[in-house]
Chains A and B, each alone.
Chain A
């Protein structure tokens, strides 16, 4: 305590303020342990994998619900905080941090995230979850799925899901007043199964449950110096990815064509990445500041190659190398010399230079791919793509009055690529916006942006046997005109009422492209309203409408009449909620959200083709929460949630496992559910 007193007194003495009477006797510093816990049963009335997606409650029945936080404080600045969420489900979270204020801090985080990757799925393959998938011994193969006579009786339900378990540990250390050190380690395991399209011989395919057994370790380190006018941080980060399954092998469910019935695909190879960085700011004058970041890194991948084919006919084909020896150097220079220069009290200039470079140094060799284990291709070189992106921008800001601000800026982006159809892309954009702010009562912002992208000559790059249409322009390499407008208005005419309105429109046009993406539009409108009936009762609501349109063109050959396809996605989201306190003991909340999405795709060959059936999802969610304080320490909380979800997707609905003649699918369906979830929790605060 003596030390504490000296510390505080010395600190305030430096300010020149007489604080001899600043005893802080009313300061209610907590000591020892305190916190709150909510424990109780939960119940879901229906099973649904889709409902449990990310939420971790997929089964019907009861589960244990635990939430809580725990804190510790002492007089010497020691502290400890623990937060837990959804401990009783497979989406549990735990976060812990502690240390001594101003000296050090340690952190621990644990999170689980379940993800469901297909609904209603089933498969005849055995060995799900492993890298070896085999068919039942009595399997009868055929050339098409309708000939797979034993399929119906040999299907087994399959849950396609992955679970991501992320563990993080960190330490921050204040070495001295100027030097700080930080270390964070992340360990993530992702396990489960996912759908995988396994091409089978010529024109056949089987949808497979591929194993997922990924481990990623990430280390982030930083040493930071804080000077009077400058700050510098030296950083190191690295990632180590490991896949326990180098390949997936499966049996051909169709009639044999070649000399093998066993097929094999390579799964994601192990890789590692490391990067060194230097970040800093320098305050040259009160009005001129520079900041920047420079980083260099390397990614490596050297997983041993599989053979060209499991077909013994090609067993003599020799690989040019045993493994890729993949090496990819990255560098990043971000002299956002955020020359944040305040030229005058009203005028400000920001300039920025950003360069990202990716230099793929993977050795180039000639390979002889055996396509679908049957057809060897002419020798083909691999293409380690490299690029360099440079970005120069300047932004001028003029504050005409405290409530009126004008901004304008320009940005030039150069993109140099190797081994692609276009070597150089240049994108020049201009924008301006005006901000009007009348404190909290009214805010208006209007931003207009236009950009024009042009390219060096388009020179087709095709692999042997895959001659691309000479009229095709890949959209990221094509000339483009982009225009955007953003309008935002926030009003708070009274203490009780607030309203926010925003409108966004973006148009991309590829007018020089004959084939490929021709254009895409995005329109978005949002309205938010809030009304406070009293200090304790609030009503809020919002409605959003999003529209995305795009149009592409294709042709079977350069002389053929082009066809066009249009995709229109529409989203309407609506929400309303009421929250309030009834007396001193009861808190009440009611929320309703509706999110409807529709998608329409039309392919037009010039013969008045009908559109595809509409894609649709409809989510309706109603939540009620009620809490009742029995005493200052004890209370009850009731959460009730009802969610209804319906969806239709013509790409999968009604297919079953044998709906496609040459593809053995997983029988996936669009999910529908109606689930009511209840939680009754006892709350204890100490």
Chain B
């Protein structure tokens, strides 16, 4: 009934996650030293008798060795959970506190009826790891950080942070996470997501952009360009085209290809048309700059030059139109207004039997 991650994540799992090898050795070293000393002691202590058939030195050694084992276990057990769970955390992280976490109680992460929710299990410590040392440290006025701290500035490695999220969030949105650009770049989930908020910022179209622009600063400028998708006022968000978790598709797109992604909103261009325009059927981004452009309709260049980079039959398509042609009453029809599109308006394809030149 309960997800495997809870069954398979007792305290030792947290230890494995939280402690590097070097840290673990450092904590166990006193016990190890005791073990070594007892080993040496066995050779030094004279045999003065036997108890229950064992030499006294051997008996002492075995007792000490047992104590060493218990000490090791106790050392690890010391990384235990807090005595009162969330009640141990909330006196410092309650409402109005600088690091308040109470907004989480509005969210699914704090649900106690959903067996997948952290609060149906070990509350705060489901994600943040055993908190006893942190709680005790704070009570003694020491700054002992929680085992797992989330966020881009955390000292907890992104892989460790993410594994905790991915223990639960393995649904279809994350099926392509492993090996994706964000994953290989060590972007932690909490770099973008904010769990201790009533509403995660990335679900608000405007706030989501700001989150993305933090790293993709160039896109902020694109959104302000003369021609752009409607991101600026939140009518659209980055996630309308991109799935930041899905590395299966190029550019982390929602769909397998650029065109399939564009057709989600621009289904009228899907065709198939009687008269296809080859680059349109192949890749919208051959002509369009989806993030923003200096030219209408997000075009990479302005017609007629956009069209002339591929079309040069004799006649007006191959004519060099210069600034002088602006005043030329014959030539300017190919240059001004909508240039080529003054007549060839069906650039995405035509279904008219006479539309071979994309006029109709």
Contacts and interface: CB of A to CB of B under 8 A. Distances in A.
Interface string A54-67: 11100000000000
Interface in B288-318: 293-295, 300-302, 305, 308-314, 318
Contact of B318 (A214, A319, A555): A555
A8 B112 contact: yes
B184 A397 contact: yes
B7 A14 contact: yes
Contact of B218 (A12, A216, A546): A546
B270 A239 contact: yes
A151 interface: no
B176 A293 contact: yes
A106 interface: no
Given A593-B224, A651-B337, A350 B179 contact: yes
A455 to B, nearest CB: 14
A203 interface: yes
B185 interface: yes
Interface string B157-178: 1000000000000111001101
Interface in B259-280: 260, 263-265, 267-276, 278-279
Contacts of A327: 272
A218 B264 CA distance: 8
A201 B14 CA distance: 77
Contacts of A350: 179, 184
Interface stretch (A128-136, A152-160, A460-468): A460-468
A197 B354 contact: no
Contacts of A218: 264, 267
B302 A601 contact: yes
A191 interface: no
Contact of B85 (A22, A199, A224): A22
Contact of A326 (B117, B185, B273, B279): B273
A15 B2 CA distance: 10
In the A-B complex, list the 10 residue pairs whose CB atoms are closest, starting with the nearest.
Answer: A102-B114, A22-B85, A77-B113, A440-B153, A563-B320, A266-B352, A338-B179, A197-B345, A26-B90, A101-B114
Contacts of B351: 266, 268-269, 301, 303, 305, 324
Most chain-B Cβ atoms within 10 A of its Cβ — which of A197, A368, A405?
A: A197
B281 A617 contact: no
B113 A293 contact: no
A264 B267 contact: no
Most chain-A Cβ atoms within 10 A of its Cβ — which of B269, B335, B338?
A: B338
Nearest to B268: A268
B276 A338 contact: no
A132 B281 CA distance: 30
Given A73-B106, A218-B264, 18 more contacts: A4-B112, A11-B6, A11-B121, A30-B106, A54-B232, A113-B235, A188-B265, A197-B342, A199-B343, A233-B175, A291-B175, A338-B247, A354-B248, A354-B250, A383-B278, A405-B186, A611-B323, A617-B226
Given A661-B330, A663-B342, A338 B320 contact: no
A570 to B, nearest CB: 8
B27 interface: no
A348 B184 CA distance: 10
Contacts of A555: 312, 318
13 contacts: A14-B6, A93-B235, A102-B114, A113-B230, A197-B343, A293-B248, A340-B179, A369-B354, A469-B318, A492-B153, A544-B221, A603-B323, A615-B294
Given A102-B111, A222-B172, A239-B263, A660 B117 contact: no
A308 B283 CA distance: 29
Interface string A66-82: 00010101001101010
B307 to A, nearest CB: 10
Interface stretch (A40-48, A251-259, A370-378, A622-630): A370-378
B294 A305 contact: no
Contact of A291 (B102, B176, B265, B281): B176
Contact of A11 (B108, B120, B230, B263): B120
Interface in B50-95: 81, 83-87, 90-91, 94-95
A539 interface: no
Interface of B is mostly: loop
Contacts of A101: 108, 111, 113-114, 117
B130 to A, nearest CB: 9
Contacts of B257: 332, 356
B270 A273 contact: yes
Chain B residues touching A, range? 35 or more
Contacts of B95: 28
Interface of A is mostly: strand
Contact of B323 (A26, A348, A613, A647): A613
A37 interface: no
A299 interface: yes
A385 B345 contact: no
A644 interface: no
A339 to B, nearest CB: 8
B185 to A, nearest CB: 7
A468 B312 contact: yes
B9 to A, nearest CB: 7
A17 B11 contact: yes
Interface in B207-234: 217-218, 220-221, 224-226, 230, 232-234
Contacts of B279: 474, 476
B54 to A, nearest CB: 35
A554 B199 CA distance: 55
A208 B352 CA distance: 18
Given A54-B235, A102-B113, A224 B172 contact: yes
Contact of A91 (B98, B233, B263, B350): B233
B123 A293 contact: no
Contacts of A243: 268
A291 B248 contact: yes
Nearest to A319: B353
Contact of A383 (B276, B308, B332, B344): B276
A93 B234 contact: yes
A660 B333 contact: yes
Interface string A470-500: 0110111000000000000000100000001
B123 A24 contact: yes
A542 B170 contact: no
Contact of B110 (A19, A27, A440, A565): A27
Most chain-B Cβ atoms within 10 A of its Cβ — which of A27, A571, A661?
A: A27
A27 B10 contact: no
A462 B275 CA distance: 14
B355 interface: yes
B235 to A, nearest CB: 4
A265 B273 contact: no
A369 B330 CA distance: 26
A569 B178 contact: no
Nearest to B230: A54
Contact of B353 (A14, A289, A305, A515): A305
A102 B112 CA distance: 10
A12 B286 CA distance: 55
